[in-house]
Each structure stands twice: as C-alpha cells, then as structure tokens.
Copies of this chain bind each other. A is one copy, B any other.
Amino acid sequence: MASQSNSHPGPERIFEAMFAHQRTAALKAAIELDLFTAIGEGADSVSTLAWRAKAPERGIRILCDYLTVVGFLTKQDHRYALTPESAAYLDRRSVTCLASIANFMTLPEKIDAFKDLAGVIRSGRPALSGGAGSISPENPIWVSFAKSMGAMQLPAARELARVLDAPSGRKWKVLDIAAGHGVYGIELAKQNPNAEVFAQDWAAVLDVAAANARAAGVEGRFHRLPGSAFEVDFGSGYHVILITGFLHHFSPAENENLLRKVRASLAPDGLVATVDFAPNEDRISPPRAASFAMEMLGTTVSGDSYTWSEYQKMFRDAGYSSTELRPLPGSGHSLILSRV
C-alpha cells in the first residue's frame, strides 16, 4: 500500500485545500460561540453545549465534530474535551488565551480580499480598501488590530524588554512607530520607570493603546503622535525606536525612506528595534514567516515577508552601520537591532 500511494498519490491535499476556508470559519464560530470556554468548564455533550450557546443541536454537533477532526477537540463516547493547545489558548479563563485574535485575523474584509486572488495577482492591486490595501489612511482595521492582537504580542514584548535590559532603569525616550495596541512600548515603560513612550499611529488606534497604557499604570509616561508614520513629526533624541510588525506592509524603497527619517530622530547612541517576520533566504521556511507573504499579497500593494538579507540592505542603504538579527522565541518573529 505504501509503495502504491507513493507512485499514485491521491488528491487528498487538494480536497483539503478546497475546504480549508471552512477551518477558518469553524474556529472563528467556535470562539464567537465561546465553545472552548464552555467545554473547559465541563459542558461536554452536544445538548449541554447547545443549551449554553442557545443554538440548535445540529449545528453545535457538526461544529464540535469538525473541530475534533481538525485537532482542536478530542471526542470519546459522545463527550468532547479540550486539547492542551485549546485549553491554553482558546479557553477564555486561561491567562494565555488568544481567542481575541480571531476578531482581527478573520475580519470579513480581510477574508474578502482573497476572494479573487488571481485578479489581485494579475492587477498587482489588493482588493482591500479600493486597491489601496490595509495601509490606506485611518483604515479602521487597525482599530480592530489594536483591540485584538495585543495579548498575542505580549510574550515577544517581554522578551524584547529583557533583551534591551529595560529593568536597568536607564533614562529612555522611546518612539513606538505604528504602535497599534501599544504593547511593546508599554512593556518597556512598565519595566523601566525612567522610560517615556511616544506612540505613533492613527488617532483612533492610539485611543486603544492609551487605554492599554492606563490599564498598565503607565499613562503618565505615554504620549501620542497621531498620524502617518511617513508624515508625522517624530521629534528627536530617541534612545529606543520600536518598529514592530510594520515594515512588511511596504516596498523596500518605502522602508528605506522611513528608516532614514527614523535615523534622524535617534539619539547618538540610539537603537532601532524592529520586530517582524524574517523567513530564511529560500523564502519557503519556516512556514509561518514564509507564508505570511501571502497575507501581504492579499492586503497590500507592495508588502512582503522580507528576508534577513533584504532587511540588511534596507538598513544599510538608509545609513545604518550595524544590524543584528535575533530570534524572538515562540513568537514566529525575529528581532532586528540596528544602530547608526
């Protein structure tokens, strides 16, 4: 049988891909119906889950069986249970719960952007926001991003604070470019009581970051720079400039322009900390960093998942003399440290 299936592979992977959109829809629906929390609390039968979700049993049963097939639940004698992964990241009672990321990652307009991907590829323009993509001015998807994606970034933000030795308490002026939820800058401010954070993003996005700063007790050292990263006046004298999950939206030429502007805002001994995907030079590994380019194809005009050598060139061409790559374990991202 094994040799037969090697010489005559079946089309299973093709069928799986044709139906793969249902995997996104099912996980989103289960999060919205809060099934993982319910199962974690012991509601393990179709009838109990249907009662809790106020939904007919047929849909709950089909959804739970599907989630079992794709590995988010287990099933034994008609009873469902969480997998270790679902318990850690999808049950809202877990401190490491990531369920909120579904709000941003499965935004209907982002899913729709992939409806005619062949057309997007032929035209070279994303179907999102009238062809401008996610980076159009004041695009409301970034408010959703800021509200939803902070929890997921927390481990990477803590690792960054450790690498930069935030607890040393050095006097820091920090610029957080495209701050979003603000988690990276806020974590530096939490760990370094002598850090002042200036967060740049669209005004409506900064409202979310400011609320997070308030919740973290650092609102007195959190300052807003509303507007486009390419246009707003950053000011100068920054010891640390954060560029997290931002450069992948733009072309190398656009990034070089921004990095020149960033350079002009740095203090003489300042450091630029870039957090982003950086796939290997083969562009096909590791899977998450490499395949993130597809998200940029669907939602931006010229974004990409850049390799380390591409980042090196951008920083070098923008006038930086030293650039260093580090892994950010567990986050899927890399950390790039650059100095003038």
Asked if A225 CB lies within 8 Å of chain B CBs, one says no
Verify A18–B105 contact, CB threshold 8 A.
yes
Q: Which of B13, B102, B294 is the one whose CB lies under 8 Å from A18?
A: B102
Asked if A257 CB lies within 8 Å of chain B CBs, one says no
Verify A106–B18 contact, CB threshold 8 A.
yes
Chain B contacts for A66, CB-based, 8 A: 290-291, 293-294
Q: Report if A58-B297 is in contact (Cβ < 8 Å); known contacts: A65-B284, A85-B13.
A: yes
Verify B26–A75 contact, CB threshold 8 A.
no
Asked if A139 CB lies within 8 Å of chain B CBs, one says no
Asked if A120 CB lies within 8 Å of chain B CBs, one says yes
Which of A9, A24, A54, A330 has the most chain B CB atoms inside 10 A of its CB? A24
With both beta carbons as reference points, the residue of chain B lying nearest to A113 in the complex is identified as B25
Chain B contacts for A8, CB-based, 8 A: 88
- Which 7 pairs show the lowest CB-CB distances between chains A and B? A59-B121, A25-B114, A29-B117, A20-B23, A32-B118, A18-B105, A29-B118
Residues of A within 8 A of B (CB): 6-15, 17-29, 32-33, 53-56, 58-63, 65-66, 68-72, 75, 83-85, 88-90, 98, 101-102, 105-106, 108, 111, 114-115, 117-118, 120-122, 124, 282-285, 287-288, 290-291, 293-298, 302, 304, 330, 332
With A21-B25, A26-B294 known, 5 other A-B pairs at CB within 8 A are A13-B72, A20-B20, A55-B121, A66-B291, A69-B285
